[in-house]
Amino acid sequence: MQTSNLLTSKKLYLIWLALVLSVSVAFGQKSTRLNTGWEFVRQDLGGVWEAVRPVGAGNPESVPLWEKVTLPHCFNARDAVDPDQNYYQGPGWYRTQLPVQNPYPGGRTLLHFEGAGQKTDVYLYTTKVGSHVGGYDEWTVDITQALAEFQKTEVYQKQFKGQIPLSIRCDNSRDLEMIPSDLSDFNVYGGLYRYLNLEYQPALALERLAAKAEVDAVGKAGTLTLKAFFPKTTTAAATPVQVRLLDPKGKQVAKYQGQLAAKAGEVEVHQFAVKNPRLWSPASPQLYTVELTLGTGPQAYQHREKVGFRHSEFVEHGPYKLNGQRLLLRGTHRHEDHAAVAAAMTEPMIRQEMVMMKQMGVNFIRLGHYQQSRIVLNLCDSLGILVWEEIPWCRGGLGGPVYQAQAKRMLTNMIAQHYNHPSIIIWGLGNENDWPGDFPEFDKLKIRAFMTELNDLSHQLDRSRYTAIRRCDFCKDIVDVYSPSIWAGWYRGIYTDYKEATQKEFEGVKRFLHVEWGGDSHAGRHSENPDNALAKISRGAGADERAGDASLFGGSARVSKDGDWSESYLCNLVDWHLKEQETMPWLSGTAYWPFKDFSTPVRPDNPVPYMNQKGVVERDFTPKESYYVFQSYWTAQPMVHLYGHGWPVRWGEEGELKMVKVYSNCEQAELFVNGKSYGVKKRNSQDFPAAGLRWNVPFIAGDNQVRVVARQGKQTVQDELKFKYQTQKWGKPTQLTLQKVGEANGLTTVEVKLYDAQGVQCLDAVNWVDFSLAGAGKLLDDLGTSSGSRKVQAYNGRAIIRLQAQPGKTAVAVQSPGLETVLLTL
């Protein structure tokens, strides 16, 4: 049994419960998620009247046909990775009917959108009550007045039986005058893909509370400054206010009572002095609680925020310091994307992802390339993960006034909405802004001027945090922190170039941080000689990604084009980078790109079509081998992992010594092969590969069993795996076989294998295979995983897919170019 520090389901639940109890109440006195009772149609309507008009069964008014959905919901849950078509970009409509009854006399009724893509119009019956442009920032619609007017109508009682008809049009159509660009390496999704809330507020309530927690470099003197922001509709009046500050254990450490001169806009509330505050850090994410009460009695408005005291510093020409101590930022990236739901990730899904990151040892994340869900930021605060969050000015150049206004608005909203999170240390202003293509003009001076505007705006809104961009050398002097493009061993050069290339880039900027490095790996594909492609690669020509490097065709030799895309190679690349980072005392940190495979419209030819496969976990959270390489360097809880859990057949000569790699953070490990010990080895991070925990051992033809026992002090952890060893050589694939290999929980697994003319499995075959199904049942495809795609490249001469079995006969077919199609009847 494999042993690592992946949490059990029970432990995950306990963390989930603890985090639920710590979430900030940042909007509304009473808030309800509107998840159920929705209908959806993926097309445009002639107008909102088509969504609300009376409909008789069988009448023409019943079309178009609507489908029942739950929120969050994304237009592109499946088609983002459909290998046979472009993903849908256009309008779609949602509708529901709500019982609405605000318990506060004279109060406001709001719809709070946590994010919707990309242009959204909101209607109460036939009245347009709000609009928003931008797919990632939060926004609210005040429906109080429209609601009161509609409730006076006859149709409210007769047609809708006292319910409120709500219709929402979302549109992710291509638009050159919007950010992000459709040239971006991610999908610009459509839909209500984040939570939508119905909120009731008393007559006097806050729009938001800005809580600025600061502490000096030695952590002794803290201050907490509170500012209230009231809606434009607020009538000026003095009102009682009470504020309590609770320490991380819930003990009150400060209190303020007084009168607040409430008025529209910004109002200063109070400033607390906090001596020797408990400091927030990734190792100990200490969170204080601010509780504010406005007014008294049943009409009182209550608000709660979590804050943390920490001191953040990027040393000029040096490392990063948190609370006065050097901290190596060990980071990754996140796109809001998941198998079968695309951007519509639920809160439990998001929690699982962030907990898996923390278990991998992550203490830093860049949220690429847009403002993300408040759930993500709350989890970063609670788990202890520092954050770079950015606006989606990504690729394409610079648009006109509408384009630029949207970018400024999204930066303003991101800072305002996420200002209180102690995890955030950087506001990102753009990504790959040196990439032209959306406009006839690509003017570097105009891009520099606009970048300067964004930089000034960020500092005006928040002087306590740094600004940063990635990959735009002609703007690197504008922002506080700069990340160049360094892809040693993938888009350019070989991975042993990494340290030299990084040092050179470090010396060229005031504050350096390296985000985005790594490489693609096709889950389930392994290699006995993963570094073979390096012999073709030129050294000394840099390690940056250049125009055309992401293409699988043409250009100079590079691993991204000429390598085998195996998990084996990626583990070596990651292993080398991590061992080198331990010897770079000037390094502030890095962020591997990305944590999870994600869909993209610009990579149709990848082994899983339309997927960026650089993640250390697949799109459904299945860990790849590289996940455990990171664990072995970045975590303290004893773990051990034998490479090759997804490698059912290894190959080589009879009696040949084969390498077995063990990834562990323990002091030493002992390897057993088929019951025989091959000795104890001690871990040394600078002994590449696998930190010295590697053995060259013989396998026997057929079945083999390997076990490792690792020790850290008195603690022992172990892992084992079984596989076959093939000594027969093979030729060119000439035939396919298809068979059922598993059945569980109503799902049947089928596997295709490729063989040569002599019936020997071709273990290095990478042929494209296409699955199809006729009869009862349904393929579980369009998931964007190596086992959930009907069109996929083989991994080691095989590929699997699952199907939902149903009563009756089912025929599964598989075909591959140049080979005879085979059928399997179930």
pLDDT in tens, 179-218: 999 999 999 999 999 999 999 999 999 999 999 999 999 9
Q: Which of 158, 183, 201 is the last residue of a domain?
A: 201
Local structure of 325: helix, strand or coil:
strand
Q: Final residue of a domain: which of 169, 201, 233?
A: 201
Q: What pLDDT score was predicted for residue 15? A: 47
Section 135-157 average pLDDT: 97
- 570, 700: one domain: no
Residue 404 lies inside a defined structural domain of this protein:
no
* Rounded percentage of the chain residues whose pLDDT exceeds 70: 97
Classify strands 386-390 and 364-367 as parallel, antiparallel or unpaired: parallel
For the cut 90, the answer to whether the pLDDT of residue 792 exceeds it is yes
> Can you give the residue range of the structural domain that contains 66?
34-201
pLDDT tens for each residue of 715-755: 999 999 999 999 999 999 999 999 999 999 999 999 999 99
In a domain, 14, yes or no: no
pLDDT of residue 317: 98
Same domain, 346 and 483: yes
- Please tell me which residue in 305, 313, 390, 432 is annotated as part of the active site: 432
If pLDDT is split at 50, 70 and 90, which confidence band does 541 have?
confident
The answer on 480 and 599 residing in a single domain is yes
- My answer on whether 370 and 460 are in the same domain is yes
Same domain, 294 and 341: no
Q: Where are the beta strands (DSSP E) in 138-264?
A: 139-142, 164-171, 196-201, 208-215, 221-230, 237-246, 252-262
Task: Give phi and psi for 16, each to the nearest 5.
Answer: -60, -45
Q: What tokens appear for 590 in the block?
A: 């890095």
Please state, in angstroms and rounded to a whole number, the distance separating the CA atoms of residues 395 and 681.
Answer: 48
SS3 461: helix
Give one word for 28, left, alpha or beta, with left for phi > 0 and alpha for psi -120 to 50: left
Q: Which two tokens stand for residue 286?
A: 């200490």
Question: What per-residue confidence (pLDDT) applies to 807?
Answer: 86
Give the pTM: 0.96
Does the pLDDT value for residue 644 go beyond 80? yes
| Alpha carbon distance 266, 228 (integer Å) | 6
Q: How much is the pLDDT for 25?
A: 42
Point out the domain boundary residue: 165, 186, 201: 201
| CA quadruple 171, 177, 183, 184: dihedral sign | negative
Q: Please check whether residues 504 and 453 belong to one and the same domain.
A: yes
Q: What is the pLDDT of residue 497?
A: 96
268 is catalytic: no
Could you tell me if 280 and 189 lie in one domain? no
Q: Is the same domain home to 627 and 647? A: no
The reported pLDDT for the residue numbered 240 is 97
Q: Are residues 80 and 41 in the same domain?
A: yes
Q: Across residues 633-649, what is the average pLDDT?
A: 98
pLDDT in tens, 308-321: 999 999 999 999 99
Q: What is the CATH number of the domain that holds 820?
A: 2.60.40.10
The total number of structural domains that make up the chain: 5
Residue 696 domain flag: yes
The verdict on 714 and 782 lying in the same domain is no
Q: What is the mean pLDDT of the chain?
A: 95
Do 721 and 763 lie in a common domain? no
- Output the pLDDT for position 8: 43
